[in-house]
């Protein structure tokens, strides 16, 4: 059950994403293909270099002669060109058909010029052949591509890792205690599956019996184990702890949260950003510059009367140096890694442009309910009559309300549960519509209710309780009383409770020079109360759902860069209007269509993480674009031979090393993004 191979449908999904990652220069290429071609080309290049007369002169040795040994460089150089170089030639044909000449066109042009010229010399043309330069050039290019492809496949490993989360097999309960092993792909809605300790949960579902704690970090980013009992929802791909669970399947295959996350990751990795468009434009311009520089080099050296083999070597080196290879890698690699990093931290990026825009934000607008608050009522303050203890009165009130379904009752019960209070037994429960409830607890006849209960009993409030009641009213909180006979034992303020993480989230954003705004349909008193608690000055209250997008436009008209954070249901128009739309509280429903970024957790602290990720991603892209294009500013003139007078000349193989080094630096620099600490 706990085997973690991905089954067929996920394998296909992840492969599709790999091909669509924005690095389509390598569509159809694989890591192993470049690896194999590199090693074989290297083996063929070694004799090409050893039997090369020029190398023998340089190093003062004589390679063992035998009949035909003079043709070794030409023979092996031709094999390396046709075997190792074919991948570049085929890709160049594809680029030219698409009328988008790029790096493959340049590489192909360089090796073809070297091959045709060397072959002409072999047939009797006067000059010096470039067989060893050609062989080393192809071999080094293959090495650069192998390293690059490995980086890309590692970056996109997120999809493959997600695919592996689902087990191959599930244990289906047939009846009673009888079970059978079935492929996960064969599960249907309403099947009951047995999830043993330590096993992966095979599909989304609800626990019908058993008790356990589940590790959901791979989907929600939540590091704590989540307790599961009867009625709890579980997600496919998460790992069960020590207990055994029976789960009724609710969603399978493409309907599961995991499949939804995979779709979003795939979509984000292949969605094009402005930086990607810039990189592609730069790569195209660099190709044009290289060809012009190559032609100019050829003309200049011929006019200066240089030897033809020297001139051709210079042209080949210019074409190699200028390959916009690192440019092609600079952005897609950062894109893939940042998407993966986001997914691991519970940030699902639907649209790359949203993530790119996040670094410029100066205003974050929160829809209050369910975002800054829990979206369910709790006791937010207890004022007990002087001789009573707050925890004691809360446990008494919750005991009175134990059998009631009313939202106020649920608020009291949940608050007592949050505090871990044991509830005394209650009997003789009675409910009086609109006036509250009554029960006998520990031989005391107690009532719980609002102002109507006080009026019915003609209870007079002392100043202490009356002042608290007034304060609660000013904050838009409901006042609920615990009454014994004619004595008020305590008053509870009941409201939609602010999330424990909200204060830190707001403080973090403000420390990043981002203004925080509350936007809510609630009353001014309720909104102001939450604003005061969290240190938020700007509050828009009483805003209807269809007016929310107008408020966003108002802020944008003042020149603000606005992120809207909402639950993605009634906030959809506002999420679309904002510069960055963040759908929060999506939980398992990752099909939120409105947000640029979907938060798996309902944790407002994740908003700051989006900005941190956006800024770090942008920094890496700019660094990579400079690494990729910047070295050409120095290298192309050197390759053309402008410092020949000072004795500085680059051989084609050195050009290939420099070009490959630039690619490798870009790949390593992108990988460093993985070390980003998003909790800072």
Which tens digits make up the pLDDT trace of 588-600? Answer: 343 355 677 888 7
Give me the active site residues, please.
Answer: 367
Q: How confident is the model at residue 44 (pLDDT cuts 50, 70, 90)?
A: very high
What span, in angstroms and rounded, lies between the C-alpha atoms of 184 and 182? 6
Q: How far is CA 263 from the centre of its chain?
A: 12
pLDDT for the residue numbered 425: 82
The owner of tokens 């999809």 is 159
Say which DSSP state 438 is in: E
pLDDT for the residue numbered 276: 60
Highest mean pLDDT: which range of 199-203, 497-501, 588-592, 641-645: 199-203
Q: How confident is the model at residue 98 (pLDDT cuts 50, 70, 90)?
A: confident
Q: Which residues of 38-65 are buried (b: 16+ CB within 10 A; e: fewer)?
A: bebbbebbebbbbbbeeeeeeeeeeeee
Residue 278, pLDDT > 50, answer: yes
Q: How confident is the model at residue 82 (pLDDT cuts 50, 70, 90)?
A: very high
Nearest-CA neighbor of 169 among 181, 180, 187, 177?
181
Which tens digits make up the pLDDT trace of 410-437? Answer: 788 888 888 888 788 878 887 766 567 8
Percent of the chain with pLDDT over 90: 10
Q: Which two tokens stand for residue 417?
A: 């549960």
Phi then psi for 443, rounded to 5 degrees? 65, 15
Residue 460, pLDDT > 90, answer: no
Which tens digits make up the pLDDT trace of 523-573? Answer: 777 788 888 888 888 888 877 766 788 888 899 999 999 999 887 556 767
More confident residue, 196 or 101: 196
- Cα separation of the two ends of the chain: 38
Residue 7, pLDDT > 50, answer: no
Phi then psi for 458, rounded to 5 degrees? 55, 45
Nearest-CA neighbor of 604 among 346, 360, 356?
346
- Strand 245-251 with 436-441, pairing: unpaired
Instruction: Classify residue 634 by burial, with Cβ atoms within 10 Å: 0-12, 13-18, 19+.
Output: exposed
Whole-model pTM over 0.85 = no
Q: Are 117 and 81 in contact (CB under 8 A)?
A: no
Mean pLDDT of 652-668: 75
**Reduced to 3 DSSP states, what percent helix, strand and coil does the chain have, rounded to the nearest 5?**
55, 20, 30
Show contacts of 590-594: CB within 8 Å, 24+ apart.
590/257, 590/260, 590/261, 590/263, 590/264, 590/348, 591/260, 592/568, 593/568, 594/568
Residue 106, pLDDT > 80, answer: no
Q: DSSP string of 320-377?
A: HHT-THHHHHHHHHHHHHHHHHHHHTTEEES-HHHHHHHTT--EEEEEIIIIIEEEEE
What span, in angstroms and rounded, lies between the C-alpha atoms of 677 and 204? 31
Q: How confident is the model at residue 1 (pLDDT cuts 50, 70, 90)?
A: very low
Nearest-CA neighbor of 438 among 495, 391, 399, 382?
399
Residues forming beta bridges with residue 399, ordered by sequence position: none
Out of 122-136, 166-180, 463-477, least confident range: 122-136
Out of 64-73, 200-209, 254-263, least confident range: 254-263
pLDDT for the residue numbered 22: 36
Say which DSSP state 676 is in: -
The owner of tokens 């244990």 is 171
């Amino acid at each position: 059950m706990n085997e973690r191979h991905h089954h067929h449908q996920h394998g296909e999904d992840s492969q599709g994403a790999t091909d669509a990652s924005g690095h389509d220069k390598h569509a159809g290429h694989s890591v192993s293909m470049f690896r194999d071609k590199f090693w074989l080309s290297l083996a063929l290049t070694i004799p090409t270099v050893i039997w090369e007369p020029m190398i023998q002169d340089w190093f003062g040795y004589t390679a063992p002669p035998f009949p035909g040994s003079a043709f070794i460089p030409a023979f092996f150089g031709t094999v390396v060109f046709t075997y190792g170089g074919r991948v570049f030639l085929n890709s160049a044909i594809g680029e030219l058909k698409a009328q988008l000449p790029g790096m493959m066109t340049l590489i192909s042009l360089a090796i073809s010029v070297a091959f045709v010229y060397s072959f002409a010399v072999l047939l009797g043309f006067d000059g010096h052949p470039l067989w060893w330069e050609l062989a080393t050039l192809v071999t080094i290019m293959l090495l650069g591509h192998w390293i690059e492809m490995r980086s890309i496949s590692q970056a996109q490993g997120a999809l493959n890792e997600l695919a592996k989360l689902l087990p191959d097999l599930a244990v289906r309960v047939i009846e009673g205690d009888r079970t059978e092993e079935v492929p996960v792909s064969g599960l249907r809605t309403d099947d009951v599956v047995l999830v043993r300790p330590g096993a992966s949960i095979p599909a989304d579902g609800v626990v019908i019996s058993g008790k356990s704690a589940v590790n959901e970090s791979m989907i929600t980013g939540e590091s704590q184990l989540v307790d599961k009992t009867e009625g709890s929802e579980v997600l496919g791909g998460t790992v069960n702890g020590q207990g055994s669970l029976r789960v009724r399947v609710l969603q399978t295959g493409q309907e599961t949260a995991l499949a939804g996350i995979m779709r979003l990751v795939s979509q984000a990795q292949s969605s094009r950003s402005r930086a990607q468009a810039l990189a592609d434009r730069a790569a195209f311009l660099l190709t044009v510059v290289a060809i012009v520089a190559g032609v100019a080099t050829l003309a200049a050296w011929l006019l200066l009367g240089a030897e033809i083999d020297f001139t051709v070597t210079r042209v080949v080196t210019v074409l190699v140096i200028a390959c916009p290879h690192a440019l092609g890698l600079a952005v897609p690699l950062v894109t893939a890694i940042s998407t993966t990093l986001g997914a691991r931290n519970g940030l699902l990026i639907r649209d790359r442009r949203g993530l790119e825009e996040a670094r410029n934000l100066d205003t974050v607008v929160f829809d209050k309910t369910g975002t800054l608050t829990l979206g369910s009522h709790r006791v937010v303050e207890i004022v007990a009559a002087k001789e009573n203890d707050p925890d004691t009165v809360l446990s008494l009130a919750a005991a009175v309300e134990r059998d009631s379904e009313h939202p106020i009752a649920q608020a009291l019960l949940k608050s007592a549960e949050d505090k871990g209070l044991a509830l005394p037994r209650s009997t003789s429960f009675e409910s009086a519509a609109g006036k509250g409830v009554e029960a006998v607890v520990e031989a005391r006849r107690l009532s719980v209710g609002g102002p109507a209960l006080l009026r019915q009993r003609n209870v007079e409030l002392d100043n202490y309780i009356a002042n608290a009641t007034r304060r609660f009213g000013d904050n838009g909180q409901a006042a609920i009383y615990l009454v014994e006979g004619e004595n008020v034992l305590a008053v509870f303020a009941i409201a939609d409770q602010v999330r424990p993480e909200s204060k830190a989230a707001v403080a973090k954003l403000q420390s990043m020079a981002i203004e925080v705004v509350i936007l809510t349909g609630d009353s001014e008193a309720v909104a102001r109360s939450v604003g005061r608690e969290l240190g938020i000055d700007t509050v828009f209250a009483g805003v209807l759902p269809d007016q929310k997008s107008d408020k966003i436009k108002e802020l944008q008209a003042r020149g603000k860069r606005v992120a809207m954070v909402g639950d993605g249901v009634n906030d959809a128009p506002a999420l679309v209007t904002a510069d960055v739309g963040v759908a929060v509280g999506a939980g398992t429903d990752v099909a939120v269509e409105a947000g640029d970024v979907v938060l798996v957790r309902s944790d407002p602290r994740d908003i700051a993480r989006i900005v941190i990720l956006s800024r770090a991603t942008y920094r890496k892209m700019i660094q990579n674009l400079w690494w990729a294009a910047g070295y050409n500013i120095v290298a192309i003139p050197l390759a053309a031979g402008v410092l020949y007078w000072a004795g500085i000349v680059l051989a084609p193989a050195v050009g290939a090393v420099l070009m490959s080094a630039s690619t490798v630096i870009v790949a390593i620099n992108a990988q460093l993004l993985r070390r980003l600490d998003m909790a800072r």
